[in-house]
């Protein structure tokens, strides 16, 4: 069984048509709102350890979560605090995952030069002078896998955890089939 660790789930939703960020900033202890620097309000939660970005349009982005459950907890906690502040919002919005970043380990060192040649330049970017990893684009599921010589990998672009599992299994199978992985 391949061990996969979710490092970050980025998700978005909408709490309504419009948010008064100035009054939310006053009501949320520790909120950062400097519209001349960044158009959104930043609110960092300690538990779960996430950051919520709120925009005037009502859009919300949650980042830093390790699971969908943490995303839901974070957005719900902030929504309750905003509603207490007197703003009209949706308490149970539809949340959409934008990106999952996960890591795994092939448990064997790999030759990135050989992999670059074998997988082909149409799918792979490898410039060791610029970045120590090989960037491999996978079509199904549509994700990007960063492979490192140590055998460690990072998968990004997934929309659900199952996509990460499929991508890691597929890249492992492909490298084994080409004789590039034990």
Domain 11-97 identical in fold to domain 106-177: yes
Give the per-residue pLDDT at 63.
98
How many C-beta atoms surround the C-beta of residue 140 within 10 A? 9
> What CATH fold (topology level) applies to the domain 11-97?
TATA-Binding Protein (3.30.310)
pLDDT in tens, the chain (182 residues): 679 999 999 999 999 999 999 999 999 999 999 999 999 999 999 999 999 999 999 999 999 999 999 999 999 999 999 999 999 999 899 999 999 999 999 999 999 999 999 999 899 999 999 999 999 999 999 999 999 999 999 999 999 999 999 999 999 999 999 999 97
Predicted local distance difference test score (pLDDT) of residue 76: 96
Q: What does the domain layout of the chain look like in residue ranges?
A: 11-97, 106-177
36: number of CA atoms within 13 Å, CB side? 0
Look-up of token digits 């659900």 = 160
Note the pTM of the prediction, 2 decimals.
0.92
> 27 is written with which tokens?
């009501």
Q: What is the CATH number of domain 106-177?
A: 3.30.310.10
Question: What pLDDT is recorded for position 1?
Answer: 66
């Amino acid at each position: 069984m391949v061990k996969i660790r979710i490092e970050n789930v980025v998700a978005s939703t909408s709490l309504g048509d419009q948010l008064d960020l100035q009054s939310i900033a006053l009501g949320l202890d520790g909120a950062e709102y400097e519209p001349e620097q960044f158009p959104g309000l930043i609110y960092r939660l300690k538990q779960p350890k996430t950051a919520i970005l709120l925009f005037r349009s009502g859009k919300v982005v949650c980042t830093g979560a390790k699971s969908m459950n943490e995303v839901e907890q974070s957005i719900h906690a902030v929504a309750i605090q905003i509603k207490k502040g007197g703003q009209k919002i949706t308490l149970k919005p539809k949340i959409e995952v934008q990106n999952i970043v996960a890591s795994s380990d092939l448990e064997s060192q790999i030759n990135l030069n050989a992999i670059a040649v074998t997988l082909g330049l149409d799918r792979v970017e490898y410039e060791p002078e610029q970045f120590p990893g090989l960037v491999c684009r996978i079509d199904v599921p549509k994700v990007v896998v960063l492979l490192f010589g140590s055998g460690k990998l990072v998968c990004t672009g997934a929309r659900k955890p199952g996509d990460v599992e499929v991508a890691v299994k597929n890249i492992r199978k492909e490298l084994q089939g080409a004789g590039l992985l034990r």
